[in-house]
Chains A and B, each alone.
Chain A
Amino acid sequence: MIHSLFLINHLGDIFLEKHWKSVISRSVCDYFFEAREKAVDPENVPPVLQTPHHYLISIYRGKLFFLSVIQTEVPPLFVIEFLHRVADTFQDYFGGCSESVISDNVVIVYELLEEMLDNGFPLATESNVLKEMIRPPNILRSVVNTLTGTTVSAEIQGVIEACVKLSGMPDLTMSFMNPRLLDDVSFHPCVRFRRWESERILSFIPPDGNFTLMTYHISSQNLVAIPVYVKQSISFFEAGSCGRLDITIGPKQTMGKTVEDLKVTVHMPKAVLNANLTASQGNYTYDFTTKLLVWDIGKLNPQKLPNLRGSLSMQTGVPNPEENPSLNIDLKIQQLAISGLKVSRLDMYGETYKPFKGVKYVTKAGKFQVRT
């Protein structure tokens, strides 16, 4: 199973190592660095690498590489899933998963890793179990009994995230107004699957704290309209080595709710040197090195549609890009689950006190991409 773990920052420094069996020299990571160098983008590093004596399985999370060393056959997904679980645990414990956070809490991190694997085999990976053994650094956690629903849309894929702070052994059931919408679901292990199969009710005894109760996918037949529309034109001129850009965004089917946190990201072709634009709302930045144009709009005002226009200066002597860049759009709509999924009710059995219940619907753009 998992032999060792190395945490590596974006500069290629190993800042933490943990071994669950005999110690393996960190020189084993050289193979990884080689691949890292070849890949240019950190996302492009193959997650599984083979070296003469070991296999390296890594994930890239929050600008960090979690690199595990394997010696014998083990399902790669097993390791990948575990590494993500480690990252999730850090996130849960420290509210972040960056190098500085991990270095600041190195002893807790080490204890966590010790608890999560025994001899390379997962031992305790549930956040609530771990918290019983190893206390998180701050106990400043607001005590609210809310159940929050977040809907990630565009592909209509959603999650129900729960935050449960109930004492005793509450047995909860949650039902939906329209469970038929759900096409494909996966559950937290606490959910009783048979009950779902027979009655379409989520029945569970929740662990304490935050957890993802369920993720779901809405079948494409019920595809709900995308909440915004985009008018754009991007063109490059052969002659003057310049280009023009014009983007307008307007609301569509938002059911009276405001679109917030609107953001447009454009990956410009290499030849684009600089952008000289004016935004009617929000502000834009263009990063020369990454060729990333980010237009942060904020709230969408339906009366005055946000617009970004201007010219792009291009590198001279370089042929024009053949393909126009695609736009990535981020947005958020509060109080609206665009999938139409509605929680019908939440009941508690097994305990006598009256819990506080609440549902929050949020729609977020997932991978909303406009091909130009």
Chain B
Amino acid sequence: TSAVMAVACGRGLLALLAGRLRAGSRVPLRSVAAAAPLYDVVVSGGGMVGSAMAAVLGHDIHFHDKKIALLEAGPRKECDHMPDSYSNRVSSISPGSATLLSSFGAWDHVCSLRLKPFRRMQVWDACSEAMIVFEKDDLDDMGYIVENDVIMSALTKQLDAVADRVEVFYRSRAVGYTWPLPSHSCDTSPWVQIELADGRRLQTKLLIGADGHNSVVRKEAEIKNIEHRYDQSAVVATLHLSEATDNNVAWQRFLPTGPIALLPLSDTASSLVWSTSHEHASELLGMDEESFVDSINSAFWSNVNHSDFIDTAGAMFRSAISLLKPSGTAVRQLPPSVAKVDPGSRAMFPLGMGHATEYVRHRVALIGDAAHRVHPLAGQGVNLGFGDIACLAHHLSAAAFNGSDLGSLKHLLKFETERQRHNVSLIAAVDVLKRLYSTRLAPLVLLRTWGLQATNALPPVKEQIMAFASK
């Protein structure tokens, strides 16, 4: 029998040279590795998505007796109370994401810290009069603008609540991963081996990569990533409005250089996300505060990009629509004007898109930006990550209740199929929108003008879009 097993070993190793089950470098480890502590799940990356993933599993009843670890390279951020000034990094949280966060008690913390619900979203073109307005029939909250620090604080609190199940390793960066052979018939450890920067080792039955768009987990697993750097950077800042208002509308205008968005933070403050060319972004950062504020107001109010041709064509189309659908057009409203920018709140970061060809491997799953990266124009980035968490947690919970091996591809593939189906269409659509709105060419402007006006006049289509984006 030992000869049979030796042959099986050899054949097993050869069989693994092809196929999706191969991943990275393999060093078969003997039982020396038994010394490293074994976890059921290790989440690599303690950002919003990684922390939420660990917290969701930690609060799952079927994971009551399991051991979970969260690896975060940065230090622990203590924040029981928020500073008075708003942080410049905010996210638009969809109702679906809010539901996920409330499922393990984090949303209550967010509400007790601070957030701003918005009820309307107006999106319009700089090159024409075309615009589209999204709002719920019952004027319910469409989404919430929340500072990333607030979300992190809420997540940290909920992780503390399950500290007996979830061990958080701060200031710990994983530097190496060793993948197991899929169906081990030899004397090798079946678990994923993780080596930290300080030399400590961990073993895990399932590694979840939530380490951002430059994911090390994805790279080490040799999962192909389709990526593209946009020639755009996003400028963020915290702005103060000229006058207090019922600030419950999210505004976005598509300039030829890129979309500029104003997201409400309070009745007197809003957050800016302005995607534009790298040069313009640097210019905006370098300007004095007055010129910066003037650029913002002009970006929202000026009609310099209009052309008579497009205006006439747009007007004709609009009157045609109003014949067929009298309620189909609405008056374009103007966003509040900006008076001041918070000093020191201006920052910029480059934009890109990315999508991993595979989200899962034997004992590995990618979530959040590690799996997909999208342009901020649709406010979907972190919501896609939260959607990944909801789906993966659902499958892992069922697997745990079935006594299954958590790292088994069987349920990981179900997660991958479900999420890829959802994410690919959204990422592709956002990419198309980004490209479509990056031009001044008349035919494309006409196309998008008519397209936007038509979509605005069709409630069923708008409802579908809203439903898809709020999952």
Partners in one complex: no
